[in-house]
Amino acid sequence: MNETIQLGEISIQVTRKAITNVHLSVHPLEGRVTLVAPSGTRLEVARAYTISKLGWIRSQQKTG
């Protein structure tokens, strides 16, 4: 199940899988952001996590 979190101009594709840890990625060139989270993670928790990483996401998009 894929969902999207919108943080201002940044759109984050959220995928839930049977994993233990969260994986946040900023893909080169287009600066696309993806978040893979454990199956039971609520969307509000994923949103709070991405907000806490917003500075890192922006810096990765500038260098990518």
For 12-48, write each residue's pLDDT tens digit. 999 999 999 999 999 988 889 999 999 999 999 999 9
For the sheet containing 33-38, what is the strand order? 2-7, 10-17, 33-38, 23-26
**1 — pLDDT class (breaks 50, 70, 90):** low
Q: How much is the pLDDT for 5?
A: 95
Mean pLDDT of 47-59: 96
Q: How much is the pLDDT for 8?
A: 92
Structural domain boundaries, residue 9 = 2-63
Contacts of 33 (CB under 8 A, 6+ apart): 10, 11, 12, 13, 24, 25, 26, 27, 50, 57, 61
pTM for the model: 0.90
Q: How much is the pLDDT for 63?
A: 83
State how many domains the chain has. 1
